[in-house]
Amino acid sequence: MDQDLKVEHIDTGLSDQSTVSFYRQGEFVDLCRGPHIPDAGKIKAIKLMSVAGAYWKGDASGRQLQRLYGTAFFDKKELAAYLEQLEEAKRRDHRVLGKQHGLFAINPEVGQGLCLWLPKGARVRVTLEEFLRRELLTRGYDPVFSPHIGRVELYETSGHFPYYRDSQFSPLFGSEAGGLVDAWNQRLVDGTLDSDSEEKLMEAAKVLGAEFPDYKSSASNEEKQKVLHRWQTVHERYLIKPMNCPHHCHMFKAMPRSYRQLPLRLFEFGTVYRHEQTGELNGMLRVRGLTQDDAHIFCTGDQVEQEFKATIELTKFVLNAVGLDDYRVQLSLRDPDSDKYVGSEENWDHAEGALRGVLENSGLDFNEEPGEAAFYGPKADFMVRDCIGRSWQLGTVQLDYNLPERFKLEYTGSDNATHRPVMIHRAPFGSLERFTGMLIEHFAGAFPMWLSPEQVRVLPLSDKSLDYAVAVAKQFDEAGLKVTIDNNDGKVQAKIRNAQLDLVNYMAVVGPKEAEAGQVALRDRIDGDLGSMPIAEAIARLKDEIATRKVRQAVKSSISTAAAVDSGATGHEY
């Protein structure tokens, strides 16, 4: 076959496999794991999408190849619908709309994957935060704040370091020798340290003021690691915070806890940092600095069901509030044949049964995925469809038996004995960056009134009406509306067009007639001219739309369910 790269892949990448599968289609034979259709004649529509360069196995020093991207469908109608969906997705690209409407920016001098929230985007974010904060306070959550860094030992206790080291930023060191000792220790862990390199590292560390008298007498790599780790513990190392959970565990431990205080619900909008690979970054959807709407609930085993139900209801409430009402839940359960899970079998049985029961009683569409649970507990993920049928994993609820054990969390029960609480992680948004990026694409930048960064724009007919326009804007502002004035020269028709292009929800046109009557001529971005009305009536109308969080549909999507990439594609354009 002359396929030397595939032979290499068999020898290296598949060497641990007991069998290797091939596929034959007529005279064509290839290495492939399947699955396959029985007859290529069933494919009625194919299309080459793009061609790109690629390196063999992603190694830039390896052979350069050409990668072909293509797609296939059972009929031409499905292909046409799929291509239309791709075009619609391009029109809704949040990176393009974000720049066009001044929502956010990413600058390489600041850093790739670090989102700069511009004023309009920041208004959307603040609105989301305030909406959720108010709701959490009414549901019995307590706000907390945690610092942006923490000692490495904190994340060693939680198990996040060094196991997820590749996705974390390098530690910050309190000693000049810190970075050298960290790299030294990592080579011991990897088993890549030879004696010559070891001597050089010891000399270099000595120059930087770090000496290890017990190192040479250590009999094994494990003992040497302990020597270095003792030094690292004394000479503080910090991580830029990759997650909030360990901080919240110590907040629980900050004082003695009684069963009477449970459930304890702690929440914060906590910014965390992940060292995502450059090629994986994608606008706001995949970033290196992200703000999570993070909460951790500490409860007794008997309270798991009621707390899980409450978090599911909260997530439904949040998604419905922004018009995302097409979703299902994936319930991830343990693999009964695996021993990777922490916690007793009794706890797992109880937790999985409770979660399943809550979902069954909720009326939600859900599916179970055995073996997909995290090692520390089962979880439920909300899979949300946007208006063009794409599937997004947004809200999540996770049970955790691991961190309470690792941090030795305790409360005093009604029997006067100490017990471990159960921990529940939950985040309806996931992260504000990703959630906002998704909303930009879902609404094509045209946010509903309650989320909009510019809810109403006052348009004076001429400079003669500018003073009245300022007075009208002042009343709108005092009523809590996000208002601007277009005081540029030009005809009002051009101002209306600009406001439409800027996706402003309402336009208040004012001229001599409106000034004399104390009115505004109100225009709706969707419905057009609404006629003249008193200022108070216009304000009441706009505030009612905000208070009810109305999400109005402008145009139904024409993309068929069959064409959706990951899910059905019913929905609407805004």
Question: Which one of the listed residues 92, 101, 123, 294 is annotated catalytic?
Answer: 294
Mean pLDDT in residue range 196-208: 80
Catalytic site residue from 245, 249, 299, 387: 245
The band of 232, judged by pLDDT with boundaries at 50, 70 and 90, is: confident
Evaluate whether 228 touches 261 at the Cβ level (below 8 Å).
Answer: no
How far is Cα 514 from Cα 475, in angstroms, rounded to an integer?
Answer: 15
Q: Which of 379, 420, 442, 457 is catalytic?
A: 379
Mean pLDDT within 364-368: 91
| Cα 574 to chain centroid, rounded | 23
Q: Which residue has the higher pLDDT, 473 or 357?
A: 473
Domain annotation for the chain: domains and CATH numbers: 4-90 (3.30.980.10), 116-146+244-442 (3.30.930.10), 456-550 (3.40.50.800)
At residue 563, does pLDDT exceed 60? no
Residue 566 has pLDDT above 80, yes or no: no
CA distance 262 to 324: 32
Average pLDDT over residues 124-149: 97
Q: Which listed residue (232, 292, 455, 519) is catalytic?
A: 292
Residue recorded with tokens 């290196």: 288
- Give the active site residue among 95, 133, 229, 274: 274
Q: Is 316 a catalytic residue?
A: no
The predicted structure's pLDDT at residue 1: 60
- Among candidate residues 296, 434, 457, 523, the one labeled active-site is 296
The catalytically annotated residue of 420, 425, 434, 482 is: 425
Binding-site sequence positions: 245, 296, 425
Mean pLDDT of the chain: 87
Phi/psi of residue 111, each to 5°?
A: 140, 135
The reply to whether 245 belongs to the active site is yes
Q: What is the pLDDT of residues 490-534, one digit of tens each?
A: 899 999 999 999 999 999 999 999 999 999 999 999 999 999 999
According to the per-residue pLDDT averaged within each range, which of 70-79, 86-95, 158-167, 464-473 is highest? 464-473
How far apart are the C-alpha atoms of 426 and 311, rounded to whole Å?
A: 7
Answer whether residue 569 shows pLDDT above 80: no
**pTM, 2 dp:** 0.81
DSSP tag of 286: B
Pairing relationship of beta strands 506-510 and 456-460 according to DSSP bridges: parallel
Average pLDDT, integer, range 439-465? 94
Please give the pLDDT value at position 163.
Answer: 67
Residue 292 annotated in active site: yes
pLDDT at 318 over 60: yes
Query: pLDDT digits over 325-337, tens only?
Result: 899 999 999 988 8
Above pLDDT 90, what percent of the chain?
A: 52
- Binding site per annotation, positions for Zn(2+): 245, 296, 425
Per-residue pLDDT, 27: 77
At which residue do the structure tokens 């939680």 appear?
Answer: 158
In this predicted structure, the answer to whether residue 198 has a pLDDT above a threshold of 90 is no
Looking at the predicted structure, is the pLDDT value of residue 537 above 80? yes
Q: Is 296 a catalytic residue?
A: yes
Please confirm, yes or no, whether 274 is among the known catalytic residues.
yes
Is the confidence at residue 314, as pLDDT, over 80?
Answer: yes
How far apart (Å, rounded) are the C-alpha atoms in residues 9 and 14?
6
Beta partners for residue 485, in sequence order = 458
